[in-house]
Copies of this chain bind each other. A is one copy, B any other.
Amino acid sequence: MAQQDRAIRTRRTILEAAASVFDDHGYDRATIAEVLERAGVTKGALYFHFASKEELALAVLEEHVVDIAVAPQKIKLQEFVDSGQVLAYRLRRDPMQRGAARLAVEQGSNRLDRKRSMLAWTQFVEMLLNEAKGRGEVLDSVVVRETAEMFVGAFAGLQTMSHALTNQADLCHRLAIFFEHTLPSIAVPAVLARLKLDPERGEKLDAELLGGRADGDAFLEAGNSLADAAS
Binds B, one of A46-54, A75-83, A150-158, A207-215: A150-158
Q: Is there a chain B Cβ closer than 8 Å to A26's Cβ?
A: yes
CB distance from A114 to the nearest CB of B (A): 5
CB distance from A158 to the nearest CB of B (A): 4
Contacts of A159 in B (CB 8 A): 157
Task: Decide: B26 and A165 in contact? CB cutoff 8 A.
Answer: no
Binds B, one of A13-21, A124-132, A178-186, A223-231: A178-186
User: A8 to B149, alpha carbons, bound, how many Å?
Assistant: 42
Q: How many residues of A are in contact with the other chain, CB < 8 A?
A: 39
Mark A residues whose CB is within 8 Å of B. 26, 28-29, 102, 105-108, 114-115, 118-119, 146-147, 149-150, 152-165, 174, 177-178, 180-182, 184-186
Give the copy number. 2
CB distance from A161 to the nearest CB of B (A): 4
**CB contact between A108 and one of B26, B154, B177 (< 8 Å): that residue:** B26
Contacts of A114 in B (CB 8 A): 164
Task: Decide: B157 and A174 in contact? CB cutoff 8 A.
Answer: no
Shortest 7 CB-CB contacts between residues of A and residues of B:
A157-B157, A156-B157, A154-B154, A153-B161, A153-B158, A181-B185, A181-B182
